Amino acid sequence: MHQLSQSNAPIYEALIKYKSMRVVPFDVPGHKQGKGNPKLTEFLGKSCLSVDVNSMKPLDNLCHPTSVIKEAEELAADAFGAKHVFFMVNGTTSAVQGMIMSVCQKGDKIIMPRNVHRSAINALIISGATPVYINPGVSKKLGIPLGMAVGDIEKAIKENPDAKAVFVNNPTYYGICSNLKAITELAHKHGMYVLVDEAHGTHFYFGDNMPISAMEAGADMAAVSMHKTGGSLTQSSFLLTNCDVNIGYIRQIINLTQTTSASYLLLSSLDIARRDLALNGKEIFKKVTSLAEYARKEINKIGGYYAFSKELIDNDTIFDFDTTKLSIYTRDIGLAGIEVYDILRDDYGIQIEFGDIGNVLAIISVGDRELALERLVSSLSEIKRLYSNNKSDTFDHEYINPEVVMTPQNAFYSNKISMSIGESSNKICAEFIMCYPPGIPILAPGERITQEILDYINYAKEKGCLLTGTEDINIEKINIVEEL
């Protein structure tokens, strides 16, 4: 094999060469390097539009890479310590679905925590695989779902020895990590694949003193959102593989749903971001960690807020914590996280990642500056002073254990009836309801609708959470499975 150099960026270099050739385009896209859409060119820039091009021999083809994309994949695999890396332009959603659909077929069981992203349950609807849900730990104090206990996974494996895979969120949105190495060893001992939703863990591969990464733990596949903490463009991701599943087969699975018109803007951003992380990642994430630690310390000085960290570690459902995550519990000032989220944006011009019932999350990355964090801290201090109230009306937990009655696929494709959400108690849900972000379903197809869930949905609505998932755009009606 030829010598790999992490200072190379093959896709980016091929695009630069293409630009220098001054090619006259009689192919798609129809804007013809920006000439056909001056407003768009003015908005995004001539340089950007000139490389928004179609696949061709000098630029390779993502559906079947043989040259520059293949070389870029090899460099990414080397950087992440994987056997192979697939460039994904349909987001980490398609990487998660690619993992599940590569190892599970209709009727196959997959062990997974219920607080998965909707993309994982969507993969079950498409493939017909059957989930064996493990309820994650729940923090009574913070009201959030935690990681998976090794003991719970062991029990699920014993009860379902025919399961094909174990699926793990690592880290969770809040930065909480499970004991990935122990889970991987346990699953492998029973002949099961380990698939990791590592959407929020790009930096685990490059920073010092980070929680263990999926590839280092020996997992079989991982879906990594390069655009979240790795610096690439939105919607660009990697699917890392480290197993015996045929690479050509995985690519066929990916090609079932991924576009045949891959954006070279997204592909080149992955290539350039990987190069930057491989060369400078340690330094980048050292800075990110220190910025997050600084903000955490300052927020905890305010009082009333709790920016949590490694002190939560219990070596079980909280095996480790990602200190780059600035997760802040807000209920002690009498405000739901979503309320703090809205006030920060509307009154202070600060957009954070998300707010839920009890917490807010600020993503800290290489693009942040100390001055901006000082502004966040002072705004939170002022919000406490102006809006703090008693906390009697706050809902005390974010995660509700579901009762699964049918497989997601059977429920989603069943004969359905639309009814008012308020009247749906005890029915079987045939679609999703979730707060977005983070996109973890409150209800998924095949689950029993309970009064506790309905109370939670009403509370989330009252507090201003963005609810999504139902056919009804107003989230007033819900599709239920027609009972015979």
Give the pLDDT confidence of 405-439 residue by residue, as tens digits.
999 999 999 999 999 999 999 999 999 998 877 77
Answer whether residue 398 shows pLDDT above 70: no
Percent helix / strand / coil, the chain, rounded to 5: 40, 15, 40
**Cα–Cα dist 230/197, whole Å:** 15
Token pair belonging to 239:
């699917």
Rg over alpha carbons for the chain, rounded to the nearest Å, is 23
Phi, psi angles (nearest 5°) of residue 25: -85, 120
Helix (H) / strand (E) containing 252: helix 247-257
| Residue-averaged pLDDT of the chain | 94
For residue 223, CA distances in Å to 69, 102, 236, 304, 395 come to 18, 13, 11, 36, 32
Cβ(196)–Cβ(143) below 8 Å: no
What was the pLDDT predicted at 157? 98
Beta strands 109-113; 130-134: pairing state = parallel
How many CB atoms neighbour CB 42 within 10 A?
A: 11
Rounded to two decimals, what is the model's pTM?
Answer: 0.94
Distance of CA 4 to the CA centre of its chain: 29
Answer whether residue 88 shows pLDDT above 60: yes
> Is the alpha carbon torsion for 86, 252, 120, 147 positive or negative?
negative
Answer whether residue 356 shows pLDDT above 90: no
Answer whether residue 397 shows pLDDT above 80: no
Answer whether residue 1 shows pLDDT above 60: no
Give the pLDDT confidence of 103-146 residue by residue, as tens digits.
999 999 999 998 899 999 999 999 999 999 998 888 888 888 89
Burial of 136 (0-12, 13-18, 19+ CB in 10 A): buried
What was the pLDDT predicted at 18? 93
Give the pLDDT confidence of 12-45 residue by residue, as tens digits.
999 999 999 988 889 899 999 999 999 999 999 9
Phi, psi angles (nearest 5°) of residue 168: -130, 135
What was the pLDDT predicted at 392? 57
Give the pLDDT confidence of 43-74 residue by residue, as tens digits.
999 999 999 999 999 999 999 999 999 999 99
Answer whether residue 272 shows pLDDT above 80: yes
Domains of the chain: 10-278 (3.40.640.10), 282-387 (3.90.1150.10), 408-481 (3.90.105.10)
What was the pLDDT predicted at 141? 85
How many CB atoms neighbour CB 218 within 10 A?
A: 16
